[in-house]
């Protein structure tokens, strides 16, 4: 039982004290059992107050401390660190939230708010009376990181981690690296093409001894936790032994009778079952797509390097941290959305990029030369009725840049931009400026009144009520309609589900704190980078890849990790393994083990987060939480509702 408790009640610069009478709260608790010091403070978290707390703890030899302030999400760690600096075990600190739970929630009732604050602080004092000193759980951390996805974000992060000194496993699901950027030629904000950028990064990846690259590889199982994840990786064979010569490869491709839509070109072309995305891509070894291969064996006859005997391999990897850089999918318009799939000259922006790639001196699509291009913005983004409420960020800039490229590359191009307010933020504004100077026409509509694409005879017409010319109805006859499609999260979220990484409202991977911790997730040890966390251009993706690399590296670098000791504990006598706890646990922390002739539940304290989900489901009451025992909770309830 604590005898020397200090209590601090924070004004939060008015955030609390505008609604809660903090002095009254102080007076109400100063006489509580064990409380020998009680103070109010303008900003409890400010350096000066922290200094004062350290002095108080030392001078008055406090053995328990309570700060009543904002949410523990913000400052629990701050104040634990304060008591630790004063030489007290940090688990003798208890946090009371009187801002989110009181002043902000009851700004209409000051009296009631003050009453509630008093009770919450009293409950915290009741808890601190019973706290015990605890030591962190120390686990070894493997100095290795799995980077999932070898797009630009993943490759750049892998290079960084290897240079810093970690072992890196770079795991790419496709047979080729580079992700989306390999599909774009000209890029905005740089002279370099997508292919050149990928080449540069790939060369660096291959020159790093500490990076092992797996292609055609997917993580299929995951166990363990921060410091020690065990991953099972499935590696699909390419069915090629060595790099074959251009000649035999070409022959093999020629004889392959299978023809399927080429996803690399967003299905505007076809490819064979033997394929490479483009000549000299990386790794420079073609692959056979076994989903479509009929095993006719024709290719084997002309190319000696084909090997159908290669088997799927499985590999177990142990890593300290996982960096997810799985990127995005381009939004796929619904059939009929702005004529997509119904009118033959309506394409998406990614398809347009590939069309431009294949056209040298004339822009031709489906045999027809293109002069008038209509770009319809925000397709799949900023939806009024659909799910995607967000703006895809990259597209205004990228499409304007592409439109300029097209205008300069081919003769007689007219660009019409059907937009919803151009978002060329930052330095990209200069492209918008340049495109206007080059004579591109901008027409704008509101969200609720989008442009219409229609077929009229042989012509494709785009019609808009243009708010820039006082809602005049304007029609453009377009040779090609480009739907400026946004970014959506990877439709196949199997990896997110496997690793239990939460997704945000927009369905992209969610960071732990939007403002201050944009690359960390609630799953300790798993960081997120690039467009998997939300739409980004290349520079932003690289920045986030590098930032995530730093965070992952700092976890595995020192070789060991200190984890919270506030985890579930099993009472060996009372437990009669029924598995209910295992079902309730969101983190897979339970294991069924045999001791003393019976099966019981065992908690992996490196995995358990102390969330308490298991406690109420245990039929024999065999579970307790270290640091928040039933006794603690009962004493807090007594303090909260003293009259019952």
Partner 1 sequence: MSIQKQMKTLEYDVLVVGAGIAGGESALNLADLGYKVLLLEKELSIGGKMILLSKVFPTLDCAACITTPKVSEIARHPNITIFTGAEPQKILKKGSHRFEAVVLQKPRYVHVADCTGCQLCEEACPVSVTDEYQYGLVGRKAAYIPFSIASPRAAAIDIDNCTLCGACERACPTKCIDFTQTPEEFLVKIKSVVIATGFELFDPLKIPRYGYGKYKNVITSMQMERELAPTRPFNTVLRPGDGKMPDNIAYVLCTGSRDKSVGNPICSQICCMYSIKQAQLLMGALPMADITIYYLHIRAFGKGFNEFYVQAQDMGVEFIKGKVGKITGKENGNLVVRYEDIKAGTVKEAEHDMVVLSVGVLPNQGISGVFENEELQLDPFHFVNQVDLMASPAKTSIEGVFVAGTASGPMDIPDSILSGGAASAETTSYLRKESL
Contact residues for ligand FAD, defined by CB under 6 A: 148-154, 171-174, 179-181, 184, 187-188, 218, 325-328, 330, 349-350, 353, 394, 398, 401, 490, 495, 530-532, 536-539, 541
Q: Which is nearer to ligand SF4, 393 or 609 (CB)?
A: 393
Of the candidates 26, 63, 24, the one whose C-alpha atom is nearest the C-alpha of residue 44 is: 26
Closest approach of Cβ 131 to ligand FAD, in Å?
A: 37
Give, for 280, the enclosing helix (H) or strand (E).
none
- Which region, judged by CB under 8 A, interacts with partner 1, from 258-266, 312-320, 355-363, 469-477? 469-477
Residue 486 interface partner, choices partner 1, ligand SF4, ligand FAD, none, CB cut-off 5-8 Å depending on type? ligand SF4
Question: Whose CA is closest to 124, among 644, 643, 638?
Answer: 638
CA distance linking residue 308 with residue 274, whole number of Å: 12
Binding partner at 193 among ligand SF4, partner 1, ligand FAD, none, C-beta below 5 to 8 Å by kind: none
* Nearest distance, CB of residue 74 and ligand SF4, angstroms: 28
CA atoms within 13 A on the CB side of 547: 16
Distance CA 16, CA 611 (A): 28
Name the maximum alpha-carbon separation found in the chain.
92
Burial (CB count within 10 angstroms: exposed 0-12, middle 13-18, buried 19+), residue 4: middle
Please state, in angstroms and rounded to a whole number, the distance separating the CA atoms of residues 544 and 525.
16
Where does this chain touch partner 1 (CB under 8 A) — which range of 39-47, 216-224, 583-591, 603-611?
A: 39-47
CB of 268 to ligand FAD, least distance (A): 13
Applying CB under 8 A, among 505, 597, 642, 644 the residue interacting with partner 1 is: 505
- Pick from 133, 312, 469, 620 the residue near partner 1 by CB under 8 A: 469
Least distance (Å) between residue 196 CB and partner 1? 9
> Interface with ligand SF4 by CB under 6 A: which residues?
377-378, 381-382, 391-393, 395-396, 420, 423, 484, 486
Residue 151 structure tokens: 């797009």
Q: Which does 148 bind (CB under 5 to 8 A by kind): partner 1, ligand SF4, ligand FAD, none?
A: ligand FAD
Least separation, in Å, of the C-beta of 377 and ligand SF4? 4
Q: How many Cβ atoms sit within 10 Å of the Cβ of residue 363?
A: 23
Identified binder of partner 1 from the candidate list 5, 148, 201, 484, rule CB under 8 A:
201
Between 272 and 423, whose beta carbon lies closer to ligand SF4?
Answer: 423
Answer with the entry of ligand FAD, ligand SF4, partner 1, none that 518 interacts with (C-beta below 5 to 8 A by kind).
Answer: partner 1
Report how far residue 224's alpha carbon sits from residue 220's, in angstroms, rounded to the nearest whole number: 14
**Nearest in space to 227 (alpha carbons), one of 547, 606, 494, 618:** 606
- Helices 538-556 & 152-164 angle (0-180, nearest 10): 40
377 binding partner (options ligand FAD, partner 1, ligand SF4, none; Cβ < 5 to 8 Å by kind)? ligand SF4
Residue placing its CB nearer to partner 1 in the complex, 430 or 562: 430
| Chosen from ligand SF4, ligand FAD, partner 1, none, partner binding at 398 (C-beta under 5 to 8 Å by type) | ligand FAD
What's the Rg (C-alpha) of the chain? 31
Q: DSSP per residue over 137-182, as a string? A: EEEE--SEEEEE--BHHHHHHHHHHHHHT-EEEEE-SSSSSBGGGG
**Residue 164 interface partner, choices partner 1, ligand FAD, ligand SF4, none, CB cut-off 5-8 Å depending on type:** partner 1
Specify which residues 7 forms β-bridges with.
Answer: 38, 66
Alpha-carbon dihedral 268, 274, 275, 280, rounded to 10 degrees: -150
Closer of 31 and 426 to partner 1 (Cβ): 426
Interface with partner 1, residue 516, by CB under 8 A: yes
Residue with smaller CB distance to partner 1, 262 or 540: 540
Strands (E), 27-118: 35-41, 64-69, 93-97
Least CB distance to partner 1 at residue 321 (A) = 14
């Amino acid at each position: 039982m604590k005898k020397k408790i200090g209590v601090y009640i924070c004004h939060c610069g008015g955030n609390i004290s505008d609604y809660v009478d903090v002095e009254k709260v102080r007076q109400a608790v100063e006489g509580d059992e064990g409380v020998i010091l009680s103070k109010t403070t303008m900003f409890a978290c400010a350096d000066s107050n922290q200094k004062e707390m350290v002095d108080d703890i030392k001078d008055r030899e406090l053995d328990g401390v309570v700060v009543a302030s904002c949410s523990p999400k913000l400052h629990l760690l701050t104040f634990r660190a304060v008591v630790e600096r004063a030489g007290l075990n940090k688990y003798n600190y208890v946090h009371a939230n009187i801002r989110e739970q009181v002043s902000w929630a009851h700004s209409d009732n000051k009296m009631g708010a003050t009453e509630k604050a008093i009770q919450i602080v009293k409950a915290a004092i009741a808890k601190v009376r019973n706290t015990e000193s605890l030591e962190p759980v120390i686990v070894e951390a493997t100095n290795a990181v799995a980077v999932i996805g070898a797009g630009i974000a993943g490759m750049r992060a892998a290079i960084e981690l290897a240079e810093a000194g970690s072992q890196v496993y770079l795991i790419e699901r496709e047979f080729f690296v580079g992700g989306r950027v390999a599909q774009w030629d000209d890029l905005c904000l740089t002279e370099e093409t997508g292919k050149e950028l990928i080449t540069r990064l790939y060369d660096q990846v291959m020159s790093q001894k500490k990076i092992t690259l797996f292609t055609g590889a997917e993580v299929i199982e995951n166990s363990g936790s921060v410091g020690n994840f065990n991953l099972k990786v499935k590696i699909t064979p390419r069915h090629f032994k060595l790099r074959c010569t251009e000649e035999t490869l070409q022959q093999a491709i020629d004889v392959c009778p299978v023809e399927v839509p080429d996803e690399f070109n967003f299905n505007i072309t076809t490819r064979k079952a033997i394929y490479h995305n483009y000549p000299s891509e990386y790794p420079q070894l073609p692959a056979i797509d076994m989903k479509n291969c009929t095993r006719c064996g024709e290719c084997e006859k002309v190319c000696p390097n084909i090997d159908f005997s290669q088997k799927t391999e499985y590999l177990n990897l142990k890593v300290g941290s996982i960096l997810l850089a799985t990127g995005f999918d381009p939004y796929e318009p619904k059939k009929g959305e702005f004529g997509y799939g119904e009118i033959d000259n309506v394409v998406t922006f990614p398809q347009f990029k590939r069309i431009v790639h294949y056209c040298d001196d004339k822009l031709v699509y489906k045999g027809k030369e293109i002069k008038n291009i209509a770009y319809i913005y925000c397709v799949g983004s900023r939806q009024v009725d659909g799910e995607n409420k967000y703006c895809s960020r990259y597209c205004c800039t990228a499409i304007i840049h592409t439109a300029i490229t097209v205008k300069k590359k081919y003769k007689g191009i007219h660009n019409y931009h059907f937009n919803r307010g151009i978002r060329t933020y930052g330095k990209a504004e200069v492209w918008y400026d340049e495109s206007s100077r080059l004579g591109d026409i901008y027409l704008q509509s509101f969200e609720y009144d989008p442009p219409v694409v229609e077929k009229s005879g042989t012509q494709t017409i785009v019609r808009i009520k243009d708010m820039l010319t006082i809602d005049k109805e304007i029609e453009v006859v377009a040779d090609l309609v480009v739907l400026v499609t946004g970014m959506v999260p990877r439709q196949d979220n199997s990896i997110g589900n496997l690793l239990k990484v939460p997704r945000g409202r927009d369905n992209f991977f969610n960071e732990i704190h939007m403002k201050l911790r944009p690359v960390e997730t609630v799953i300790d040890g798993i960081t997120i980078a690039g467009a998997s966390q939300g739409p980004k251009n290349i520079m932003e993706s690289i920045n986030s890849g590098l930032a995530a690399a730093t965070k992952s590296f700092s976890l595995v670098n020192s070789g060991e990790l200190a984890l919270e000791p506030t985890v579930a504990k099993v009472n060996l006598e009372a437990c009669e393994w029924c598995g209910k706890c295992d079902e309730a646990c969101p983190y897979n922390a339970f294991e069924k083990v045999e001791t003393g002739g019976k099966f019981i539940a065992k908690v992996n304290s490196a995995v358990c987060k102390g969330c308490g989900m298991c406690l109420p489901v245990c039929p024999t009451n065999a579970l307790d939480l270290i640091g928040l025992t039933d006794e603690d909770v009962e004493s807090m309830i007594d303090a909260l509702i003293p009259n019952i």
